[in-house]
Structure formats: C-alpha cells, structure tokens
Amino acid sequence: MKKLILWLSLAYVLPMTAQSLPDSTDIFFRHLELKEVMVTGAVGDMKMKETPMPIMILQTNELRQLPSTNLIDAIAKQPGVAQITTGGGISKPIIRGLGYNRIVVINDGIRQEGQQWGDEHGIEIDANEVGTVEILKGPASLMYGSDALGGVLVFKGMPAQPEGSIKGKVNTEYQTNNGLIGVSFNLAGNQKGFIWDARYSEKHAHAYKNRFDGYVPNSQFNERAFSLKAGLMRSWGFSNLKFSYYNLNPSIVEGERDTVTGELVSEDGNLLSYRHGLPYQRVYHYKAVSESFINLSSGHLKVIAGYQQNRRKEFEESADEYGLYLQLHTLNYDVRYVSEERSGWKFSTGINGMGQKSINLGEEYLIPDYGLFDAGVYATASKVLGRWNLSGGLRYDYRYLDAKRLVEDGEERFKDFNRHFHGITGSVGATCEVTEQLDFKLNLARGFRAPNISELASNGEHEGSLRYEIGNPDFKPEYSLQADFGFDYATRYFELHGSLFANLIDNYIYLHRIDSIIEPDLMTFAYAQGEAMLLGFEAGVDIHPFHALHIGSAFSYVNAQLLHQHEVMRWLPMTPAPRLSVDVKYELTHDGEVFNNAYIAARMDRCLKQDHYYAAYDTETMTPSYLLIGLSAGTDVLIKGRKIAELALIVDNLTNVCYQDHLSRLKYADFNVVTGRQGVFNIGRNIVFKLMIPIG
C-alpha cells in the first residue's frame, strides 16, 4: 500500500476522467472546450480555466451511464468523492474525507436544507431533473458561508428549450438486484420568451441482496417527486419561479440476526415487497424558489429567494404512529452583483444567508426546538495578467442560534441556550496557462463552520442510526486552512491531471462511541472536539490513442488524523479508503443510420484496505480491500435521422463480490454467530436497464 501511494505520488499520475465529455471525438479539443465552461467557483461565476480551485463537472449523459440507486450514489464514483450509506436509498456526500454539515449542496440556486447532520438524512433532490453537477473540492466559505468547509455540490437543472419549441422525454429504469422500477415524465417549452418546465418522477425498490446475507430485510424504499417552473426570458435578463415536492420513504435496516441460525430477521417475511417495513422514515421536502438575473450596463445582478419545508417522521412500532417528527422551515436569500471585465479586472460582491425554525411534533426527541439566523457579506476580485489569472476575496459571517428548553416527565431534557458565532474567511489563488496544453493552479483558503444543533444539543435515541447521541453546547466553531496545488496537461492523445491538498482544521467536531449505556441495546455516542489534519491527492490520466477509444485511470487518497491523540484515537472517523479506478470506453458509431453514438465500456474500482480508523471503544474497525468490475453499453436509436430512443445496459459488480464499504453504517450491525462476520454487506451483482424516449 505505502509503495503504491509513494509511486503514484512521485509519478503524479492522476485522474479526472469525469471531466471528459463522452461524445467528443478528440480529447484535446474536449479539454479546450471544458476550459471555457462557466462554473460556480470559490470566488464567483468564472470560466473553468480561470478558477484556482479544483472543480469537476458531470454532464447529463455521464450521469445516465452510471449505475446508482440515488443521486449521491452516482457522483460518489468520482475521484475524491465518497458516500456514507444506509442501505440503497440513503446516501450522504463525502468530499476529501469531509461530510455532513461540512458540505454545502446547492440546488435551484439555494442551499438545500434537510437536516444534514443526521447519518441517515439523504439529499432530497430528484436525480432526473439534474442537468449538470459541479463538484467543488475544498473550502468555499467565501461564496457560501458556514458549512462549506469541505466543498460544495452544485446541481443545475436542464437548460431552457429553444424559442418556439415544446419538447419532453420519458425516462425509465429497471434494476435486477432490488427490483428498482423508475420512471420520469418531463415536458418543457419556450414560447416567445415564456418558458416552462414540468416533471413527475417515481422510484420503487424492494430489498437488495448479496451472497452473504441473501435479501436484506427492510432495505426497500420508494420515492416520488414533482416540479413545475415558469419564467420569462427577455433582453434585460430572465426571471423564473419554481415549485418542487419530494417524498422519500426509506425503511431502516437494523441488521438483527437470529441467535441460532445467524440469518437476518425479517418482520413480515416478504422480502420482495415494495411496501415499507418497520422501522421506516417518511420524508417530505417542499420548496419554492424565485430567481432573477438582470443585465446592467456595468455587469449583472442576481437575486434569489427561497422557502423550504422539511418534514421527517420516524415510525418504529406502528406504521400509523410516528415517534420522532422534525419539521424544519428555512428562508434563503442571495443577492449578488458581478461586474463586467475591464482592463483585466472583474469584481463581485453579495450578501446571502438564511433563517430557520425547527420544531418537534413527535413524542420522542433527539434535538431541541431552535431558531437560527445566518448572514454573510463578501467581496471578490480577479485580475488577468497575461497568462496569469489572480483571484481572491474576503467574507464576514454571523450566525445566531437559539435553542429552547424542554422538560419531559418532570426532568429537563434540553437546556435553554443561545450562541453567537462570527467568522472571517478568505481565499487567494492563481492559475497559470503555461502553454495551450499545460495549466497550473494554486489556492489558499480559510474556511469557517459553526457547530450544528445536533453537535451542540443532541440528547436522545437516534433510531435511524441505532444509537444514543449526546452533544455539547460549549463547542467552538471550526476553522480550516487549506492549500491546493494542481495541474492539467492535455495533448491530442493524452491528458494528465493532478491535485495535492493539505487541510488543517481547528476545533474539529467528531462523533465517537463512549463506554456508557443510557438506553439498553443501544450504543452511546458523544460529540468531541480536537485538531485535525487532512492530507491527500487525486491523480488521473486519460489516453485517447484514436478517436473511438478512451482509456482513463484515477486514484484518490486522503490521510485524515486527529492531532495530539493516543494511537487508538489517531485517525478521523468515517475516512474513505484509497481508491483506484480504470475506465475503458469504445465508441462504435457516430453517424449510424439506425444506431448512433453506440458504445461499450468497462470499469474497475479497486478500494484498498482502510486500516486508518478510529479504534477507541470499537467506534470503527478495519475494512479489507475489494475489487468491483462493471460493464456497460448504450446507443441512440434513429428512424429516418430522428432519435426515437436512448438505450443503456449496465452491469454493476459483475463478479458478485461481497464487500462492505468503509463508510457503510450497516457494517456495524449484529454479528452472524454462524459465520463470525459482523454487519450487513453491500449490494451484490446488479443489472440496470435504462430507456429514454424523447417527445417533440
């Protein structure tokens, strides 16, 4: 392992194969085209070639070619990105070893707020409506404020239809392992600048299976989503209003086993049922967003306002009576001005933030009722000096949190307290286009994150996580200092990427197991604070020996330590294992009369052993290495030159390997007394069929 990492570090062979645009026939021109793409960078909207931060872009067609059960599952296959999973329906993003409230998710132009502090709280976004994904790695507090300490995921919708057109599509999907059935209907139009877009999606899955566990009871889920957007496009800019609804009903895998046979216990015995079992969650997310973009003589002004309501219920003993019920209301605002470029200078300034109110409506409690107000003001500047592009900025953040007292059965469950948090953050970076083929990037950023309500005030059973959690109201905010150095080199037949980072975090908050029992049959976990250091890199190579063949390889590694700690407490919990991936894709046709853009592809993912884990009180255990192999093929189907369908066939985990991802929480479920194995294993071989039919 050490020799492999050393060799890769010295050779500097590093991947960002996700940046390739699959239908392009020349990697060099693909590289140049990508550099001109506008992205949401650490210092404002700018071209890809100008941003000093490491950013990856995933296009719609790339997302469709990936096997996944949810949106985060799809992007977690990219270098430097991982996921915390609970079965097939719930995934949380991890970027370079940081997750939870250290990752900001932007959807419809605003922060997605759905109580991200929970292990089993996923991202409430319909994957079918996502057009592109920007993955920003590293502190982005300058643009997004508190919580953007580890990175940002920006989900952008489909572009507006051309003037005078009405178009739509039907997406369908079936997966053999868990019987997943997915369908999505979309219709959009543009008539004299009046634009509209409507979508309805559903997804249903029964229990998944693997060779060791068979079918995993209570791993089924179902999902529904609806969205409607309308707006105007004029010479002065555009303005639109969007309403969306999202509902997820995931059952909660407890992993209980029969003490004699070692088999997983099933309450109703029907493992192929699409109906939820017990316990399960019922999550609703409602959102309304208004976005306006106004052209000015000296630049442009963007104004976004949004309202979100997240309802999360947990049902334990009865399908009709909930125990925990959290309701979160969020008002978001973002006002941003960006100047035109003059004499190489470009400026932007803005203010953004949110107001929140969270209330408990159930009979069980994990966190108190609370109110929150958050505001930040920032200014950025960039300057073009020949081949150099310099950029940087400053930001001030203020957050106020007011937690309410709760007395239960004559005892004080939660104390009444309020906290004020302040933070000054900044970023400075440079990009240098040495030649048309070679770019260098260097960035230094300071991040800030205020503790969340769970870290400050948890005191209760977290049913979804199968543990009792305890917070600490005296925690200080986290501050990070991260340095990034990267390069990319592209010729007609060859592309090489590299990115090194070092991140030092003061007052890092983490959750660990303690030697105490508050509730029978539940592990007790408490939040703690310390100093953390994360070092790592991503590297990739993409070879294009002739126009139809693409060969890519990527490696990502993060070393995450708690400083000044005993050996068993040395490594940060929930650190992803080193991962090597290899992709080979052959494009069969580009101008066929019946089958067009046809391709076949193969992928290998080698996750290495993770022996850097938080060992105190068995909080974590070592995870062995494993190898996953996948195959895929796809094509457009034409009749008289018109595309009538897109077809894709994907085989994931071809060799049906039984494995446990290091970030799977099901890894710590009950022991199997017969085999001696602990926990529940990940999904086995899965064959995915996808069909897209365009309309109009």
Q: What is the pLDDT of residues 508-558, one digit of tens each?
A: 999 998 888 887 778 899 999 999 999 999 999 999 988 899 999 999 999
Mind giving me the DSSP string for 630-648? Answer: EEEEEEEEEETTEEEEEEE
pTM: 0.90
Per-residue pLDDT tens for 239-248? Answer: 999 999 999 9
Strands (E), 27-129: 38-41, 44-47, 55-58, 81-86, 90-95, 98-99, 103-107, 110-111
| pLDDT tens track for 316-344 | 888 889 999 999 999 999 999 999 988 88
Count other Cβ atoms within 10 Å, centred on residue 260. 8
List the beta strands (DSSP E) in 547-685: 549-562, 579-587, 595-607, 626-639, 642-652
pLDDT in tens, 456-477: 999 988 766 678 999 999 999 9
DSSP 364-401: --SS--EEEEEEEEEEEEEEEETTEEEEEEEEEEEEEE
Q: Which amino acid is at 525?
A: F
The domain locations on the chain are 2-695
Residue type, 477: P
Assigned token pair, 178: 């868990």
Q: What is the dihedral of CA 83, 85, 89, 91, to 10 degrees?
A: -30
Q: Which is nearest to 616 in space by CA: 477, 476, 516, 469?
A: 516
Closest CA to 110 of 288, 292, 294, 332: 332
Q: Give CA–CA dist 260/362, Å, rounded.
A: 37
pLDDT at res. 43: 67
Q: What is the pLDDT of residue 8?
A: 35
Residue, of 554 and 35, whose pLDDT is higher: 554
Can you read off the two tokens belonging to residue 412? 């004080």
Q: Which residue has the higher pLDDT, 292 or 590?
A: 292
Handedness of CA 273, 275, 279, 283 (dihedral sign): positive
Q: Kindly report the backbone phi and psi dihedral angles of residue 612, in degrees, each rounded to the nearest multiple of 5, phi listed first.
A: -100, 95
Residue range 154-213, pLDDT digits in tens: 999 998 899 999 999 999 999 999 999 999 999 999 999 999 999 999 999 999 999 999
Residues 468 and 457: their CA atoms lie apart, in Å, by 12
Residue in the block written with tokens 């645009």: 21
CATH number for the domain formed by residue range(s) 2-695 = 2.40.170.20
Would you place residue 6 in the very low, low, confident or very high pLDDT band (cuts 50, 70, 90)? very low
**Confidence grade of residue 620 (pLDDT, cut at 50, 70, 90):** very high
Of residues 21 and 649, more confidently modeled:
649
CB 641 within 8 A of CB 33: no
Write the burial class of residue 320 (CB in 10 Å: 0-12 exposed, 13-18 middle, 19+ buried): exposed
pLDDT band at 14 (very low <50, low <70, confident <90, very high): very low
Mean pLDDT of the chain: 89
Q: What is residue 33's predicted lDDT score, i.e. its pLDDT? A: 59
pLDDT at 42 exceeding the cut of 70: no
Give every CB contact of residue 270 below 8 A, 6+ residues apart in sequence: none
* Contact present, 201 and 128 (Cβ < 8 Å): yes
User: What's the whole-number mean pLDDT along residues 73-90?
Assistant: 85
Q: Which of 568, 433, 578 is nearest to 9 (CA)?
A: 578
- Contact residues for 221 (Cβ-Cβ < 8 A; gap 6+): 87, 88, 89, 90, 203, 204, 205, 248, 249, 250, 251, 276
Which pLDDT score, from 0 to 100, does residue 11 have?
34
Amino acid making up residue 74:
A
Q: Does residue 323 contact residue 345 with C-beta atoms inside 8 Å?
A: no
Contact 182, 127 (CB under 8 A): no
Answer whether 609's CB lies under 8 Å from 623's CB: yes
Dihedral through CA 142, CA 148, CA 151, CA 157, nearest 10? -90
Measured CA to CA, the distance from residue 42 to residue 31 in angstroms comes to 21
- Specify the pLDDT at position 19: 34
